[in-house]
Copies of this chain bind each other. A is one copy, B any other.
Amino acid sequence: LESERRLTPPLIECVPNFSEGRDLARVDAIEQAIREVPGVLILHRTSDSDHNRSVITFAGRADAVVEAAVRATARAAELIDLNRHEGVHPRLGVLDVLPFVPLAGATLENCIELARRAGQRIWNELRIPVYFYQAAALRPDRTHLEDVRRGQFEGIREAVFANPEKRPDLGGPALHPTAGAVIVGARKFLIAYNINLRTTDVSIAKSIARKIRASSGGLPAVKALGLPLASRGLVQVSMNLTDFEQTPIHVVFSEVSRLAAEYGVEVEESELIGLMPRKALEMAAAGLLKLSNWDSQKVIENRLEALLGG
C-alpha cells in the first residue's frame, strides 16, 4: 500500500540545487538519499559542469518530501567540501537552495511551513545554518535569493562576524566550515512557456515580449524575451510565468495572440518546457472556454479525490 499512499494530495514539489555538477557519482549518491524515502519520486535531474551544480526535482507528500530534503542535505554535506568547490555559479552551501513548491491540494502557506520544518531540522540535526528566502523569508531584505547569496560562501562566512545583518536566520553566526549554509524557501511553480509566431521578423517577438513582461509594466509575474527560431522560419516569445494563479497561462496566450494580431501575425503554436501543474491547465481550459461558475470540483476525478482524500 505504500505506493498508493503517495498519491494522496496535498502534493509538494522540492527542487534542491547542489554544489556538485562534475562528479556525477556524488550526484547519484545524493539522488539515492532522496530515493530511499518511501513516498518520494524523482521527476527530473540536471547537472552543469561549468556551474559545477546540479538540480534534482522530486515530489511526494509533505512529510516524505521534508524527510528527503533533510537526507539530501546530510548526504551533500558528507560528500562535498565547499572550500574545494569551483564553478561559475554563485553558491553559499553544498546544498545551496532548497525551495518547496505547492502541487495539487497544497498551498504556498503549506510550503512556508514545510520550509520552516526542513530548516529547523537542518540546523538541529546537521548543524548547518539556514537562511529563509522568497515566500518563506523572515525579513523583507531576504525575499530575493540573489540578495541572500550576495558575497557567497567565501564572503559571507567572514561577513557574519563583522555584520549582524548577514547572519543566518537559524544557527550560526558562523557558517558550517565545509557545508556553508542552506537557503530554504517556498515559492510557486514556475512555468516555462513559449509562444511561436508565424513570422520571421524577430522585432515583432521582441516588441510583444517588452509589452507583456512585468518589468516593463506588462502582465504581473511574467518574464519574457523575443527570440528568432531561424530554422523553422518563426519567432518566439519565450516566457517564465512565476505565478500562474496571478497571471494564468491563458491570459498570456490571449494577450500575445492579440498583440500579434495587431502586427497581422498569427500564433503558430505554443509549447511547454518541462512540466506544469494540473491547476494551471484547468484554469486555462476554464478561461478559454469562458466557463461560467467554474470550480475545479466539476472535474469528476478532482471531486473523487476531495471526497476520499485528507
Q: Which residues of A does B touch, CB under 8 Å?
A: 1, 3-8, 11, 13, 41, 43, 59-60, 103-104, 189, 196, 249-250, 253, 267-272, 274-278, 281-282, 284-286, 288-293, 298-305, 307-309
Structural contact, A307 and B41, CB atoms closer than 8 A: yes
Q: Which residues of B contact A60 (CB under 8 A)?
A: 304
**Given known A-B contacts A1-B4, A275-B298, A277-B300, A290 and B269 have beta carbons under 8 A apart:** yes
Best-surrounded residue of A189, A274, A289 (most CB of chain B within 10 A): A289
Q: Which residues of B contact A11 (CB under 8 A)?
A: 301, 304
Q: Which residues of B contact A59 (CB under 8 A)?
A: 300, 304
Q: Which residues of B contact A271 (CB under 8 A)?
A: 291-293
Structural contact, B281 and A285, CB atoms closer than 8 A: yes
CA distance A7 to B6 in the complex (A): 10
Structural contact, B288 and A288, CB atoms closer than 8 A: yes
What are 9 residue pairs bridging A and B, where the CB atoms are less than 8 Å apart in the complex?
A6-B304, A41-B308, A43-B300, A43-B304, A59-B300, A249-B289, A275-B299, A281-B286, A284-B289
Q: Which residues of B contact A305 (CB under 8 A)?
A: 7
**Given known A-B contacts A4-B5, A276-B298, A43 and B303 have beta carbons under 8 A apart:** yes
Structural contact, B292 and A269, CB atoms closer than 8 A: yes
CA distance A250 to B289 in the complex (A): 7
Best-surrounded residue of A13, A249, A275 (most CB of chain B within 10 A): A275
Can you list the 9 inter-chain pairs with the closest CB atoms, starting with the nearest? A285-B285, A288-B288, A269-B292, A275-B300, A284-B285, A278-B301, A281-B285, A104-B301, A269-B290
CA distance A298 to B304 in the complex (A): 22
Q: Which residues of B contact A304 (CB under 8 A)?
A: 6-7, 11, 41, 43, 59-60, 103
Q: Which residues of B contact A103 (CB under 8 A)?
A: 300-301, 304
Least CB distance from A14 to B in Å reads: 12
CA distance A277 to B299 in the complex (A): 6
Q: Which residues of B contact A104 (CB under 8 A)?
A: 301
Q: Which residues of B contact A253 (CB under 8 A)?
A: 288-289
CA distance A278 to B253 in the complex (A): 21
Which among B272, B278, B298 is the interface contact of A272 at CB below 8 angstroms? B298
